[in-house]
Amino acid sequence: MNITVISGSTRNNSASYKTSLYLQQQLLSLDDSNDVSIFDLSTANLPMWEESLDLTTLSKPQSELEAADAFIFVVPEWHGMVPPALKNIFFLFTGVFRHKPAYIVTVSAGSGGRYPIQEMRSTVYKNTYLNFLPVNTVIDRVNSIIDEAGCYIGEKQFVANRVDEGLRLLLEYSKAFQTIRKSEIVLEKRFPNGV
């Protein structure tokens, strides 16, 4: 399965990136035939969307995202919100997420992380046709759970167990959605946007 982990922070050495490393390692340990890449917004160097932007200049990241069967969104809570650079990718790459499953993992240095889940779920699905798993995972006090190398250092296994469930579900959904994407009604693309 081809899984893309989108690290939603534009900061260097972000908690989102080290969490993405951890998720990548966990997915490979579940099945090393998985192809797991990290799409890191701190190095992707993407322009902010504007009307005059020539989207054909973004064909490389577009193809990278298009190849994914499923996504994991690692979302830091910034001012109680999803960072603008992450929302921006839904303007830049409109077709790549269509009828694919996605697992949301939020991170916070403190005890945030709930608001971005609500924001992703309430606003992102419509035109993207993304399918968010019914489970998501909040990683509070992320610096005491995952270290710089993406290793789990939490004293308790609670977050690790949550992540394990989320990743296993994502892999099962990925298989099912490959079938769904080949169905007549999906291929028909009757409406460009959801309602």
Ligand X SMILES: Cc1cc2nc3c(=O)[nH]c(=O)nc-3n(C[C@H](O)[C@H](O)[C@H](O)COP(=O)(O)O)c2cc1C
- When the beta carbons of 25 and 94 are compared against ligand X, the nearer one is 25
Distance CA 190, CA 195 (A): 12
Does 38 interact with ligand X (rule: CB under 6 A)? no
- Under rule CB under 6 A, which residues in 104-133 are in contact with ligand X? 107-110, 112
Retrieve residue 114's tokens: 């709930």
Alpha helices (runs of H) in the chain, residue ranges in sequence order: 15-30, 59-66, 84-92, 114-119, 125-128, 158-181, 184-188
SS3 134: coil
Does 194 interact with ligand X (rule: CB under 6 A)? no
- Under rule CB under 6 A, which residues in 159-188 are in contact with ligand X? none
Q: Which of 193, 188, 187, 190 is nearest to 127 (CA)?
A: 193
- Under rule CB under 6 A, which residues in 44-103 are in contact with ligand X? 76-80
* Beta carbon of residue 74, minimum distance to ligand X (angstroms, whole number): 8
Binding mask 2-21 for ligand X (x = CB under 6 A): -------x-x--xxx-----
SS3 60: helix
* Beta carbon of residue 16, minimum distance to ligand X (angstroms, whole number): 3
Judged by the rule CB under 6 A, the positions of this chain that interact with ligand X are: 9, 11, 14-16, 76-80, 107-110, 112
